[in-house]
Amino acid sequence: MGQGDNRWPAAHVSDVARLYRLAVEQGSAGAKYHAVAAEGVPLKDIATALGEGLGVPAISITPEQAQEHFGFLGFFAGRDGHVSSAQTRVKLAWNPTGPSLLTDLANMRYTQD
C-alpha cells in the first residue's frame, strides 16, 4: 500500500517449528517469544517477488483500495510490523537458519503441472 515501505517480520516455517519446540521444552510459562528471522521485509519487496512468480505486475495502491481489494486483510497489509527476536534468541539459543522470505518466494512453484 502506498509506497510499500511498511515492514513485515518473517521466519521460515522450519525455524518457527524449531522455536515452538524450544519454547515447549525450555521456555518459561507465560513468556512471549518472537519467531522472527528477518525483522523488516518491505511489503513492496514481498509484492514484487509474488508478482514475478505469478507473472503479474506489482502495483502500488492506496489504503482505501487495499481495504476494498483485500477486505479485512487490507488492515494488516498496511501495518508496519517491526518486531525483534533478540530476547528470544538469547533466552532459547534460537538461531534461524532457513531461507529468507524473499528467497523462499523466489523459489516457489507458482504453476501447477
Question: What's the confidence (pLDDT) of residue 2?
Answer: 64
- Residue 22 confidence (pLDDT): 97
Q: Going by C-beta distance under 8 Å and a sequence separation of 6 or more, which residues neighbour residue 51?
A: 57, 58
- pLDDT tens for residues 51-108? 999 999 998 888 888 888 888 888 887 788 888 999 999 999 999 999 999 999 999 8
Query: For residue 11, is pLDDT > 60?
Result: yes
Q: Which three cell numbers stand for residue 103?
A: 528467497
Strand 7-10 to strand 38-42: parallel, antiparallel, or no bridges (unpaired)? Answer: antiparallel
pTM for this model (two decimals): 0.82
Map out the domains of the chain as residue ranges.
Answer: 7-97
Specify the amino acid at residue 1. Answer: M
